[in-house]
Structure 1
Amino acid sequence: MSRSVWKRAAVALAAAALLAGAAGCQDGDTGPESSGASATAEPGAQGSEKAAEALRAARTKASGAKSARVEMRLSVAGGTAPGSSTFTGVQAWGPQAAELKVSDSSYLAAIPGAPAETRVVTTGGTTYVDLGADLTAQTGGKRWLKARPEGAAAGDELMLQLTGGLAAVNMDLPKELGLLAGSSAVEHLGPAKGADVRAERYRGELPDGRTIEVWIGPDGYPVKTVVRTERGESVTSLTTTYADYGAEAGFRAPPAGDTVDVVELLKKVLAGGGRG
């Protein structure tokens, strides 16, 4: 495999790895009712204190459950590395962990030899991406790409572009609900419309500039979140739906001898160490 292809593969898979640690956001809809940027509060909506109370109650519920089954849709627009991916599986928080399948990914589709679908595991602050058989043959038999969120800073401009918004959405769901509840700009948008779930919608902006919309079901648990992050010319949107709170998963890291560090791989590629 050429240096340029290996570089693209390493960067794209690292982005998938870093995103897979994300613990909250929203799913699918692209209309005005699901976009935190365009939704508006309805007449008769709850006041800010009532909205904050609902979010604090949802934080307590999510914190007690410790995990949920999720479906996440990532979309990166603008910048040098636009694209999208879907993640399904189990997400946990406190401590943060995940066991997810990656599918419908424009990043994977752009990499020669990459599998159409793959697995990611996050545990102990590190995320691992299964490279699949073809790419494993290019790494000396090491099947898992290893990445940490802080490792993005050691990459080049493309790495920073591709992962720029992901650290912000790599969130602890109960913690973020608490921060949102404390936001002076939090508001109740009213009930969800045209959706197959009953939920009340809340939105606010955090000090770091992220806009978050949360859907809370009749049982008090979050059923959907939408996080929007802008960095330069890049806009990252992460939509997550939640179900089966308390779901369990293995969250086991692969053997150290079966992993290759993404930053080290990039260094070798940029130094001319890539195969091909």
Structure 2
Amino acid sequence: MVALAVVAGVAGCRDGDGGTKAAGAPATARPATQSPEEAAKAVRAAYAKASAAKGARVEMRLNVGGDKAPGGSTFTGVQAWGPVAADLKVYDSSYLADVPGAPVETRVLTVDGATYVDLGTGLSARTGGKRWLKVETGGAAAGDELMLQLTGGLTAASMDLPRELGLLAGSSAVKHLGPGTHGDFKGAQGYEGELPRGGHIEVWIGADGYPMRTVVLTEADGGGVTTTLTTTYSDFGAEAAVQAPPAGGTVAFTDLLKRLGRG
């Protein structure tokens, strides 16, 4: 699950030398006009604005490809960073659709270093009425395929936008993609680069200096699993007033496995 913790991602474009254009690209990039130093400066400025805002409304689409738990989910709601918190609705999820008794759409909360998934009435009937699945990244069940199915790669809900922008700004080769040319992205500036931990990030920055959309492409260690997380941002400064569900109403993933008959 740690390997699939994809951070923010943009359906942006990568035109130019050997580049590819991501599906659903919001704008067409023109030839780059900024030097790597100028590009890094622009990304650092967006980092500063996002950090000060501490949160935003988001719409995220996670797509997972490869042999292990391929599929996708959409998340909408409010996400915060420093500390990381989120209150998101999950829908259009192939993962939920594959789990008998799971709801068609559900709610995901991230608070105090843990993420909680509302199991709905169907699954909570098999957990003694405990409604919330508690997931702690890096736990004993990390990487389990059923974990990925039940959570839909929900560590996307724990993304830290300023951290990702900071990593991009510190890259040795930030590339300016040029300005967007149509729709909401007209006048926005696109940038891309590699992340130190592996993977590729693109960000589109609006005329107000705030990130508008990001895309992170990641391949898990050893290959075989690729992730794309596309995130659109609005209403910077929105607060995620999240409280953890009562401890008596939560069930750990390993306990849920036992209750579902996987021993």
TM range (shorter): 0.7 to 0.9
Cα 1:55–1:30 change in 2 (3 A) is: closer
| Equivalence for 2:208 | 219
Q: Which runs of 5+ in 2 are unaligned?
A: none
| Equivalence for 1:158 | 145
| Equivalence for 1:93 | 81
Cα 1:156–1:211 change in 2 (3 A) is: closer
Distance of 1:258 and 1:44 partners within structure 2:
53
What is the Cα deviation at residue 124 of structure 1? 0.5
Distance of 1:99 and 1:164 partners within structure 2:
15
| Equivalence for 1:12 | none
Deviates more, 1:234-243 or 1:194-203: 194-203
Equivalent position amino acid for 1:180 in 2: L
Q: Note the alpha carbon deviations across 1:208-247, whole angstroms, 9 max, x for none.
A: 1110001100000000000000121111000000000011
What is the Cα deviation at residue 196 of structure 1? 2.6
The number of equivalent residue pairs is 251
What SS does the corresponding residue of 1:154 show, helix, strand or coil? coil
- Checking the alignment, whether the CA contact within 8 Å between 1:22 and 1:166 is kept in structure 2 is no
Cα 1:227–1:169 change in 2 (3 A) is: farther
| Aligned partner of 2:69 among 43, 57, 81 | 81
What is the Cα deviation at residue 34 of structure 1? 4.0
| Equivalence for 2:179 | 191
What SS does the corresponding residue of 2:192 show, helix, strand or coil? strand
What is the Cα deviation at residue 265 of structure 1? 2.4
Deviates more, 1:140-149 or 1:259-268: 259-268
- Checking the alignment, whether the CA contact within 8 Å between 1:228 and 1:235 is kept in structure 2 is yes
- Checking the alignment, whether the CA contact within 8 Å between 1:27 and 1:72 is kept in structure 2 is no
| Equivalence for 1:4 | none
**Equivalent residues in 2 for 1:1-276 (5 A)?**
24-26=8-10, 32-34=20-22, 42-151=30-139, 153-155=140-142, 157-158=144-145, 170-198=158-186, 199-231=188-220, 232-266=223-257, 269=260, 272=263
What is the Cα deviation at residue 137 of structure 1? 0.4
TM-score, with structure 2 as normaliser = 0.84
- Checking the alignment, whether the CA contact within 8 Å between 1:26 and 1:72 is kept in structure 2 is no
Distance of 1:184 and 1:216 partners within structure 2:
19
Equivalent position amino acid for 1:48 in 2: P
- Checking the alignment, whether the CA contact within 8 Å between 1:40 and 1:189 is kept in structure 2 is no
Greater helix fraction, Structure 1 or Structure 2:
1
Q: Percent identity?
A: 61
| CA RMSD of superposed structures (Å) | 3.1
- Checking the alignment, whether the CA contact within 8 Å between 2:6 and 2:218 is kept in structure 1 is no
Cα 1:88–1:169 change in 2 (3 A) is: closer
What SS does the corresponding residue of 2:184 show, helix, strand or coil? coil
Distance of 1:134 and 1:44 partners within structure 2:
52
What SS does the corresponding residue of 1:196 show, helix, strand or coil? helix
Q: Which runs of 5+ in 1 are unaligned?
A: 1-14
What SS does the corresponding residue of 1:185 show, helix, strand or coil? coil
- Checking the alignment, whether the CA contact within 8 Å between 1:187 and 1:202 is kept in structure 2 is yes
Distance of 1:238 and 1:224 partners within structure 2:
10
What SS does the corresponding residue of 1:24 show, helix, strand or coil? coil
